[in-house]
Structure 1
Amino acid sequence: MDIFAFDPESIFSFFLTLFRVSLILFVLPFFGGNSIPNPVKAALCLVLSWAVWPALSFTGVMFPKNIFQITLMIAGELLIGLVLMLVVRFLFAAVQMGGQLIGFQMGFAMINIVDPLTGTSVVVTSHFLYMTTLLTFLTLNGHLYLIQGLADSFALIPPGGLLITPELGEGILRMAGQIFVLAIRIAAPVMAALFMVDLALALVGRAAPQMHVLILGFPIKITVGFFFLGILFTYLSRHVEEFIHTMGPMFHTLLRTMSG
């Protein structure tokens, strides 16, 4: 008599769920960031795997039979997480790029800080817009769409069933091209206002050459820049909300493309 009711297929089924959840969560934003300790991430993966295993799982017979197939399966699970991560990173890359343009226009190009999440040096306005977008994304439940994308992967892509197709590359490149468009749309109000300030200062310098336009223009540009930066928050939240609403269909399309 089996006292512990040991079922190998159930154990293998749980391992498949654990691989899918852990490898995807470790690369997704907010869940697998460098600011979260590894023990916390490991505990989150175990708890979430145990929670979704009864409803979202694979049969134990789908577990690979040799180490080569296991390696390919792990690489495929990691690639799924990287693709889902890129979709979200495109939004924040666009916001940071828009912040770089605004900081350059305001004269903050020399004022850099270290981003604790990426470890790179960014303009202070870029980091400020990034943190604002991050809080807006979490407030609008964007992280729940990431979990929904993880759940959709169970229904669309079996373990080791990932296919890298030309349509996948085209879809990623198409979304990457939107980074520059979104960055300009975000930074356009502030850039237009600062352009008008530069134009006014140029006219003043032409009419009164004895005035120190550079010394006078620096505080004016900072004041106008911060004023329109405050107005930009409502405009930015609309872009984030629009992106979140389209994130679910984008995840579903990419996962279906990877499933062949």
Structure 2
Amino acid sequence: MPEPLFDATRYLASLQVYWWPFCRILALFSMAPLFNHRAVSVRVRILLALALTIALGAALPDMPEIDPLSLKGLLTALEQVAFGVLLGLTLQLVFTIFMLVGEVISTQMGMSMARYNDPVNGVSSSSILYQLYFILLVLMFFAIDGHLVTVSVLYQSFLFWPVGSGLHYVGAESFVHAFAWVLAAAVLVTLPVVFCLTLVQFCFGLLNRISPAMNLFSLGFPISILMGLLCVYLTLPDLPESYLRLTRDLLNGIGVILREGQNV
């Protein structure tokens, strides 16, 4: 018999090669740094995920034969989404560190009060120091080809965590431990600035006890802001080295998670 002109079953089976990677890639772009920024619309993320899926489809390992319309197919799609979210959140940790750094320094300087009393943006706006760190991190992200590193991590995830391999407790446990690493790194980065600002506030508090007539609020706040800006200026030259070291540690941690997931 002649071959039918349109065989939906065959085309549906061939699309599985692209459907499972598309779910993981789109989930990663929804959480990865810069890709999840509000300036990147949902349509752009979908188009980027679709283009990357087509580009990587031929180089990925063979996909299991699973009916995408069955219950197992639905669970497999959710599994890929979970993998993508886990990798995206892990890649976001370095940006989270400097977000905490900006928030802590702004609070110590007293600049967070302007954000809380902002009648336009309210408490949803980010601190000005975090915006400064974010711009510098974006420039360094593209300087070290961070977008290509993200694609490389994504491709390696399909080699170590193939489609249908299931969720691993080791990867989730390592991601939970990574939060402790984020807090520790943020404390180490902000410790010199916080110590200097605390020392300034302590000195003004001591002066206020010695001379109660001195207006602490009118004098202490400007000096704290100036000292905070001076400390930020002195620590900015070390920002690229800190970013590269933290990124290297993060990639090493991701490599450990991928290899442990393969050995499960």
TM range (shorter): 0.7 to 0.9
Q: Is the 8 Å Cα contact of residues 197 and 221 (structure 1) preserved in structure 2?
A: yes
Report matched runs for 1:16-165 at 5 Å. 16-59=20-63, 62-65=64-67, 66-112=69-115, 120-165=124-169
Of residues 137-146 and 151-160 in structure 1, the stretch that sits farther from structure 2 once superposed is 137-146
Q: Is the 8 Å Cα contact of residues 23 and 81 (structure 2) preserved in structure 1?
A: no
TM-score (norm 2): 0.82
How many angstroms apart in 1 are the aligned matches of 2:6 and 2:251?
40
How many angstroms apart in 1 are the aligned matches of 2:188 and 2:84?
28
Cα deviations by residue, 1:91-119 (Å, 9 ceiling, x for unpaired) = 222222222221121111312279xxxx9
Report matched runs for 1:160-179 at 5 Å. 160-165=164-169, 167-179=170-182
Question: Does 2:19 match 1:15?
Answer: yes
Deviation, 1:228, is 1.0
Deviation, 1:57, is 4.3
Q: Is the 8 Å Cα contact of residues 106 and 194 (structure 1) preserved in structure 2?
A: yes
Question: Does 2:199 match 1:213?
Answer: no
Q: Secondary structure at the match of 1:122?
A: coil
How many angstroms apart in 1 are the aligned matches of 2:166 and 2:15?
23
| Long gaps (5+) in structure 2 | none
Cα deviations by residue, 1:74-107 (Å, 9 ceiling, x for unpaired) = 1111111111122123222222222222112111
Aligned AA (2:105)? I
Cα deviations by residue, 1:184-226 (Å, 9 ceiling, x for unpaired) = 1121222122122223323433454433233112111111111
Question: Does 2:228 match 1:225?
Answer: yes
How many angstroms apart in 2 are the aligned matches of 1:55 and 1:189?
47
Deviation, 1:173, is 2.0
Aligned AA (1:30)? L
Aligned AA (1:238)? E
Change (3 A) 1:4 1:258: farther
Identity %: 21
TM-score (norm 1): 0.83
| Long gaps (5+) in structure 1 | none
How many angstroms apart in 2 are the aligned matches of 1:40 and 1:199?
50
Change (3 A) 1:30 1:3: farther
Q: Secondary structure at the match of 2:113?
A: coil
Deviation, 1:73, is 0.9
Of residues 19-28 and 4-13 in structure 1, the stretch that sits farther from structure 2 once superposed is 4-13
